[in-house]
């Protein structure tokens, strides 16, 4: 029975040994991300977030030096208008981290470092939650499972909001779990307030944190009904939105109007972004897209072991067994995206909150398989060691091997379930997205471009190229093409860029994001031969064209 592999869940505070292991895992994860960060291409969401980092920290400086001006409507609008479509907290956090480490790291890694710290914290908490319930081996396996998910590993590097939103979601659920058995009126009230503050912090990071409330509500109803737990959840629901507003200065003036605009942006007014799905472009894709895409981008072995972990864990008869909570944490973010009430796009990016919980289930599943095999072969130790090693390696080897062949272009990873990247392309899925491949062409362009040459990429990508210029990876004299009517959010970006189309450019960069292909793109490719092409596993990821 599954209970033979379980560890007591009655302890509220992890043992010192587990805390030391968690800290070591966090430090190793952060180091790994920093080492691999320079190879991970800049994505098109990052430039505006980096500018927002600088702007929000600038407001803090003004708040210190001239608080009356900083808190006036003019002061708020000056510093907080940039990227006001999304909550500010992660950008503010990352900006503060840049001030601490900016001289020790290259500019892009510094801008991303705050989120790498959050991933380290996520790994530590994930380990503790699994280890406390199912043992250290299961905890270690869960951490390895998470970091061996190629798409998650890619996102873990970025100065974007998807991973911070997933971390905030996870922290709220983790703290709820550790405080689930608190007794007494005042302690329950204090826990409710704590959860409300954390949930508000999560909402001020990204809207994904909102999913924590239904996850906890469903878990209480289905697995552990308690008046005290409902009370804590009620307090959490009341305090969270107040903290959210308090942490977002943009909402200090015209609060109701700006809140309505934010809610509309999340639902019906969001920018329209196509999703390429089974050979057709959708906006948004069908309801089943999140589930199908998850199967396609989650390593097959981890999906199988997550199902095993779920099945075995649900047979766990202990009071407050955690598997039901973890399953809801994995499922509800997906269900929220299947309602059709918001835009769904960019493949797996919007359901990052699901991945840590699937890693936890996979860790439990692998650990159960290893324990079961060890018991079955107890009389044959040599065979047992070989079999255990085979399962351990087999759980992580396929996706690791694929990731090494694709690296650093991990947004092109597809699981063995669909035949990897070649199989996914045959099915009509996007080869890549988010323009992370562009940097592959810079050595050639920097060495060969004439003074003032024009470089063209997709409409959404001009700021990415300008950002590369501003950090010194792309020559500063080059002019970046942008379409008529568009503008740059970067300092001096409008002055250094130029309105031009691909037919006027000296260099044309084409990532194989099929939903971004236009008739002009197709015609241009038919009429020109690329000077540079990037392929992985026999599939084209990127082409660069040069006008002679």
Q: What is the pLDDT of residues 315-347, one digit of tens each?
A: 876 666 899 999 999 999 999 999 876 778 999
Q: Does 25 share its domain with 151?
A: yes
Q: What is the domain range of residue 342?
A: 2-360
**Nearest Cα to 216, choosing from 164, 267, 189, 179?**
179
Q: Does 452 share its domain with 346?
A: no
Q: Does 467 share its domain with 332?
A: no
Query: In this structure, are residues 460 and 486 in contact, taking their beta carbons and an 8 Å threshold?
Result: no
Question: Is residue 9, in this structure, part of any structural domain at all?
Answer: yes
The whole-model pTM stands at 0.95
Q: Does 191 share its domain with 296?
A: yes
pLDDT in tens, 492-527: 999 989 999 999 999 999 999 999 999 999 999 999
Which carries the bigger pLDDT value, residue 281 or residue 343? Answer: 281
Question: Is residue 289, in this structure, part of any structural domain at all?
Answer: yes
Please identify, among 360, 386, 403, the residue that sits at the C-terminal boundary of a domain.
360
The answer for residues whose C-beta is within 8 angstroms of residue 410's C-beta and 6 or more apart is 150, 151, 153, 154, 403
Which residue's entry shows tokens 């390696």?
393
Count of domains forming the chain: 2
Q: Does 336 share its domain with 220?
A: yes
Please identify, among 360, 380, 402, the residue that sits at the C-terminal boundary of a domain.
360
Lowest-pLDDT choice from 15-29, 219-233, 432-446, 487-501? 219-233
Query: In this structure, are residues 168 and 209 in contact, taking their beta carbons and an 8 Å threshold?
Result: yes
Query: In this structure, are residues 422 and 308 in contact, taking their beta carbons and an 8 Å threshold?
Result: no
Q: Does 336 share its domain with 248?
A: yes
Q: Does 47 share its domain with 155?
A: yes
Q: Does 248 share its domain with 337?
A: yes
Can you give the pLDDT at residue 11?
52
Question: Is residue 432, in this structure, part of any structural domain at all?
Answer: no
Question: Is residue 141, in this structure, part of any structural domain at all?
Answer: yes
Question: Is residue 282, in this structure, part of any structural domain at all?
Answer: yes
Q: Does 205 share its domain with 328?
A: yes
pLDDT in tens, 438-450: 999 999 999 999 9
Question: Is residue 503, in this structure, part of any structural domain at all?
Answer: yes
Q: Does 484 share its domain with 341?
A: no
Question: Is residue 386, in this structure, part of any structural domain at all?
Answer: no
Q: Does 225 share its domain with 333?
A: yes
Can you give the pLDDT at residue 389?
86
Please identify, among 307, 340, 360, the residue that sits at the C-terminal boundary of a domain.
360
What mean pLDDT comes out for the span 63-86? 97
At what angle are helices 420-427 and 381-406 packed, to 10 degrees? 60
Question: Is residue 379, in this structure, part of any structural domain at all?
Answer: no
Q: Does 463 share its domain with 331?
A: no
């Amino acid at each position: 029975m599954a209970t033979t592999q379980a560890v007591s869940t009655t302890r509220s505070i992890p043992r010192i040994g587990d805390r030391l292991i968690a800290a070591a895992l966090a430090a190793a994860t952060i180091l790994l991300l920093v080492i691999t960060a320079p190879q991970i291409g800049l994505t098109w969401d990052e430039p505006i977030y980096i500018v927002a980092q600088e702007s929000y920290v600038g407001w803090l400086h003004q708040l210190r030096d001239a608080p009356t001006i900083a808190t006036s409507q003019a002061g708020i609008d000056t510093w907080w208008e940039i990227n006001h479509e999304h909550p500010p907290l992660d950008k503010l956090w990352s900006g503060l981290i840049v001030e601490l480490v900016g001289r020790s790291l290259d500019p892009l890694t510094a801008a991303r470092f705050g989120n790498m710290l959050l991933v380290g914290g996520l790994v530590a908490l994930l380990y503790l939650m699994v280890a406390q319930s199912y043992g250290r081996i299961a905890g270690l396996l869960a951490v390895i499972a998470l970091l061996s998910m190629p798409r998650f590993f890619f996102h873990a590097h970025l100065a974007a909001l998807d991973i911070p939103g997933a971390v905030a979601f996870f922290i709220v659920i983790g703290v709820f779990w550790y405080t689930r058995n608190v007794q007494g009126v005042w302690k329950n009230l204090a826990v409710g307030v704590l959860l409300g503050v954390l949930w508000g912090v999560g909402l001020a990071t990204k809207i994904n944190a909102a999913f924590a409330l239904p996850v906890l509500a469903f878990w209480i109803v289905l697995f552990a009904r308690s008046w005290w737990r409902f009370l804590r959840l009620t307090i959490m629901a009341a305090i969270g939105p107040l903290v959210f507003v308090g942490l977002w200065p943009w909402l200090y003036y015209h609060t109701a109007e700006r809140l309505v605009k934010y809610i509309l942006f999340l639902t019906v007014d969001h920018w329209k972004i196509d999703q390429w799905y089974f050979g057709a472009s959708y906006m948004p894709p069908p309801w089943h897209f999140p589930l199908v895409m998850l199967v396609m981008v989650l390593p097959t072995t981890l999906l199988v072991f997550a199902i095993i972990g779920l099945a075995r864990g649900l047979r766990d008869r202990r009071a407050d067994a955690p598997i039901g909570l973890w399953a809801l944490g994995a499922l509800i973010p997906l269900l929220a995206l299947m309602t059709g009430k918001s835009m769904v796009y960019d493949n797996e990016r919007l359901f990052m909150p699901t991945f840590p919980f699937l890693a936890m289930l996979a860790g439990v599943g692998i650990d159960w398989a290893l324990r079961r095999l060890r018991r079955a072969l107890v009389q044959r130790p040599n065979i047992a060691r070989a079999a255990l090693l085979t399962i351990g390696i087999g759980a992580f080897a396929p996706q690791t091997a694929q990731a090494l062949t694709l690296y650093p272009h991990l947004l092109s990873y597809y699981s063995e379930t669909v035949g990897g990247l070649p199989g996914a392309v045959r099915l009509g899925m996007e080869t890549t997205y988010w323009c992370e491949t562009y940097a592959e062409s810079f050595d050639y362009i920097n060495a060969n471009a004439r003074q003032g040459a024009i470089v063209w990429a997709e409409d959404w990508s001009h700021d990415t190229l300008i950002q590369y210029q501003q950090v010194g990876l792309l020559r500063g004299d080059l002019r970046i093409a942008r379409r008529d009517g568009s503008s740059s959010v970067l300092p001096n970006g409008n002055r250094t860029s130029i309105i031009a189309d691909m037919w006027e450019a000296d260099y044309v960069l084409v990532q194989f994001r099929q939903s971004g292909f236009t008739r002009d793109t197709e015609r241009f490719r038919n009429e020109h031969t690329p000077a540079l092409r990037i392929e992985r596993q026999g599939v084209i990821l990127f082409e660069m064209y040069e006008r002679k």
